[in-house]
A and B are shown apart, each in its own frame.
Chain A
Amino acid sequence: MKFHAATFCPAVGAAIFLFAGTSDRAQSLPVGHATDFTSNQYFEPPNERLVKMKLSGAEALPLPGGLLDIRQLRVETFTLDGQTQVVVRAPQCNYSPFDGVANSAGHMELQSGDGKIHVQGEGFLWRQTSSSLTISNHVHTLIDMPGVMM
């Protein structure tokens, strides 16, 4: 998966924050403090105009090593027909735009697009390239559909 484009909507005082480009070439690094930003990841061709994942946050602070300290993270993934697949939220996380990995020792929540599955836990690792999420501790899931288990 590649970042084919990125868009940011910085608020007042926000600034210089850009991670556009693709994973196989150098990305622009954030060099400052940003607020209320959004980054879109698109599907591979021929669906390159369709948003596959939207990553947004209320605030981003640059960290050593090219990492970003993101507050109020929200990751939303979409299906090819534009339906929301899942929404992941976390009050804080560290995000590496180079490899698309976000992690945090804090709280996180996941909700399916149809609202029938809700997961929360403490400590997570989100791998953007594989759309996988690991929750390390105290995982609690609510599934609102019949026949879940025995």
Chain B
Amino acid sequence: MRIMKKTILFLALGFGGLLAAQTNAQLTRLDLQPTLSTNAPPAKAKAKVADAKPKPPTEIDSDSADFDLNAHLATYRNHVVVTDPKVRMTCEWMLVTLPSGGEHLSHVVATTNVVVDFTNEQGEKYHVTAAKAVYDYKVVNTVTNETVTFTGNPVVDTTNSTIYSEPMVWDRGRNHFLFTEPIMKSKDTGTNGPAQKLF
């Protein structure tokens, strides 16, 4: 797999903070929590155990929906809006695999004009757009893998920058983004210059 062949560059920084780079890296990690040093070693992946903290229900609104009770599938169509306390997502089509007695949704596919807005723990706002987003949740040996993979011209827009990457993976368990050959436009310069490759 192409990604596996790439050197993984760990960037310990916030979107509003510092950028550090290494050459020949095409897969980039961007942490969502601010870090003080650009020379910090790669952040250790923290194993996230199942979150037992209760949270308010997530709401899904749409024009129409189909439920297949045998296959445990819910398909939402047209003006789909997903909201919970931290995240808001809109799209035109969304397939949810409902857990059969499980405690956690494991697979969600959203397509067509996918827009995700969320605020991280530091209060930084993120605006992600893509043609498709796939949410996967898996627990292997007590380690939780929870990712959202954006494809179809994904763009993440923050206060200070706009980053393009195909694909773009939001690792929710480790709270960072993984970019492939990212291109960033900084908003700090206030210019409309051409987009530059990050690395």
- Interfacial residues, chain A to chain B (CB-CB below 8 A): 77, 83, 85-86, 110, 112, 114, 117, 119, 121, 130-150
What residues of B have a CB within 8 angstroms of the CB of A132 in the complex? Answer: 66-70
Instruction: Determine the interface band of chain B, counting residues with CB < 8 A from chain A.
Output: 35 or more
Interface of chain A: mostly helix, strand, loop or mixed: strand
Interface of chain B: mostly helix, strand, loop or mixed: strand
Given contacts A77-B69, A139-B64, A139-B65, 6 further A-B contacts (CB under 8 A): A142-B57, A142-B59, A145-B99, A145-B103, A148-B60, A150-B133
- Interfacial residues, chain B to chain A (CB-CB below 8 A): 51, 55, 57-70, 74, 76, 82, 84, 87, 89, 98-99, 101, 103-105, 108, 110, 116, 118, 133, 135, 137, 146, 148, 170, 172
Closest to B114 in A: A150
**A130, B68: Cβ atoms under 8 Å?**
yes
User: Within the complex, what minimum Cβ distance (angstroms) separates B33 from chain A?
Assistant: 18
**B65, A114: Cβ atoms under 8 Å?**
no
**A150, B64: Cβ atoms under 8 Å?**
no
| Residue of A114, A135, A147 touching B104 (CB-CB under 8 A) | A147
**B101, A134: Cβ atoms under 8 Å?**
no
What residues of B have a CB within 8 angstroms of the CB of A141 in the complex? Answer: 59-61, 65, 74, 76
